[in-house]
Every structure is written in structure tokens, then in C-alpha cells.
Amino acid sequence: MEQLSQHGAFGGWQRFYRHDSTEIGLPMKFALFLPPEPKALLVYLAGLTCTEETFTMKAGAQQAAAELGLALLMPDTSPRGANAPGEADAWDFGVGAGFYLDATQEPWAKHWRMESYLIEELLPLVQKEFGLPADRTGIFGHSMGGHGALTLALRHPGVFRSLSAFAPICAPMQCPWGVKAFSGYLGEDRDTWPAHDASALMKTQQSVPYPAGILIDQGLNDKFLVEQLHPQHFEEACAAVGQPLTLRRQEGYDHGYYFIASFVDDHLKHHAEQLLKP
């Protein structure tokens, strides 16, 4: 693991790293904010076209994270440098659009293994290297990353103790972004898709996965709300299984980082309340 840069921030350190990933088979980058006294780890998954730098530089999360004792891990959104045919032909598929799953279709299956990379490789690596407690780890994300946060939290019970999202893709099987990604990465057999759809996954829960509650913020001026995001489907799924959900519909806010910066402190507090309980 190579440290690319380090910057003092609010008594802690904002660092950027690169390492050779065995799951991806390529070098991967991530950002890590370490507060003065790290007590827990919070993973943030970014959206389409983003990198490890996007949330790190735009959200303004470090001050509250430092005060709360939350380390922040920001991975990249996809493999880079695979030179797969067509990997950079579209902004919503391929490079910058890994959708936080393991592809099963060629030419994506070899390198587009974001789920295994995050769960099996990056998270244990960071927890071990920086002495961060595995039993105090939360996850949140935005848009495609919100989809990733919800699905990974539901697919890997016990890995994350807290969960939230900004404007997540809540029902990817029912929106153009999701249908395009699932068709390309998972193939045309739609029977494989529900395992990566947060609303479908929630409906299959045999017990309440996050009894202390899930937080979602959604801007009502978000141009993607009606066609792509469908928070009402996740809301209905949570109600069906008794999962506590706070879905805040925010007037006047769009899909961008001014929206995220406006409410990120609320999300950090939401996670701290759950992660720092004895």
C-alpha cells in the first residue's frame, strides 16, 4: 500500500492511498480520513462518474467526523486501466460506474468485482492497517453509492452496524440506470437481479436488519428522482418487514454535493449514535 499524499485536517489526517488489489487485479485508490481519536469507521460509496476524491473534497465531512471520532473511508467507484472493450463509452456504465457488485458477464467479470473488493479486501485491509474496530463499522453513499450502501449492508449481515444514504437508487430493476448496469454486468437473466436490488432485498428479510433505523435524505428538486431513484419502493419494503426508516424529502435540494454537504453532519451523527454505543 502506497501513501500518495497526506493533509492535516481538523486535528487529524486526510490521506490518499493506492494499492494492488488482488480481487480487482489492478491498482486501486482510496481516501481515508483519520480523526485525532478514531473510535469507529464509516465507509462512503460515491456515485456515477465519481472517484475517491469526490466526497473527500466536496462534502465537508471532516470537521464533524473529527469531533465524533469517525474515520472515513472513500474508495474509488470502479476499476481503472482494465482496457476492457467499451469501458469508457458511457458515463453510466463501465469506468466510474461499478455499481458495487461482482460482474458475471464478459468482458467485465475479470476486473469489475467491486463487492468482493470492498467486503473481502479493502475493508479488512483498512481495519487491520489502521487499528479500526471491525465491530464499529457503518456504511453510507450517494446515488449509485447509495444503492451500494443499501445492498451491501443487506447482503452482508453483521459487517455494518449502521446504514444511511443520500438519494440512493432504491429499485435498480425498475430504472434505466439499473437495467443498463444489471444487463451488462449480470446478464439478461433477470432472476439474478433481485439479489442486488435494495427494495427487493429488504422484502426478503426474515428479521429487522437495522433495528436502530436507516436514514435516507432525498432532494425533491432532484432531476433523477422520478425516473431513476424510486425511494417510495424502498419505503414500502421497509414498512412491509417493520424496518424503521427515516426518509426525509428535502424541498429545494437537487442531486449534487451542495445537497450532500447540507445534511452530511446529520448522517455522521446518525452513524455515531449507533456505532459508539457500548
Mean pLDDT of the chain: 97
Mapped onto helix, strand or coil, the DSSP state of residue 218 is strand
Q: Give the Cα separation of 86 and 90 in Å (integer).
A: 8
Q: How far apart are the first and last CA of the chain?
A: 32
pLDDT of residue 12: 98
Q: Is 222 a catalytic residue?
A: yes
77, burial (CB in 10 Å: exposed 0-12, middle 13-18, buried 19+): buried
Q: What DSSP designation does 192 have?
A: G
Q: Is 255 a catalytic residue?
A: yes
Rama region for 252: left / alpha / beta (φ>0; ψ in -120 to 50; rest): left
Position 149 confidence tier, pLDDT thresholds 50, 70, 90: very high
Out of 143, 162, 164, 199, pick the active-site residue.
Answer: 143
pLDDT of residue 43: 98
The share of the chain scoring above pLDDT 90, in percent, equals 99
Please say whether the dihedral angle defined by the alpha carbons of residues 133, 268, 220 and 224, taken in this order, is positive or negative.
Answer: negative
Is the pLDDT confidence value at 231 over 90?
yes
Residues 7-52 pLDDT 10s: 999 999 999 999 999 999 999 999 999 999 999 999 999 999 999 9
Position 217 confidence tier, pLDDT thresholds 50, 70, 90: very high
Buried b / exposed e over 219-257, threshold 16 CB at 10 Å, is: beebebbeebbbbebbbebbeeeebebebeebeebbbeb
pLDDT of residue 82: 95
Give me the mean pLDDT over the 66-71 stretch: 98
Reading the block at residue 77, the C-alpha cell is 467507484
Is the pLDDT confidence value at 278 over 90?
no
Residues 100-123 pLDDT 10s: 999 999 999 999 999 999 999 999
DSSP codes joined into one string, 146-191: HHHHHHHHHHSTTT-SEEEEES----GGGSHHHHHHHHHHH-S-GG
Out of 76, 102, 197, 222, pick the active-site residue.
Answer: 222
Residues 129-147 pLDDT 10s: 999 999 999 999 999 999 9
Out of 111, 147, 255, 270, pick the active-site residue.
Answer: 255
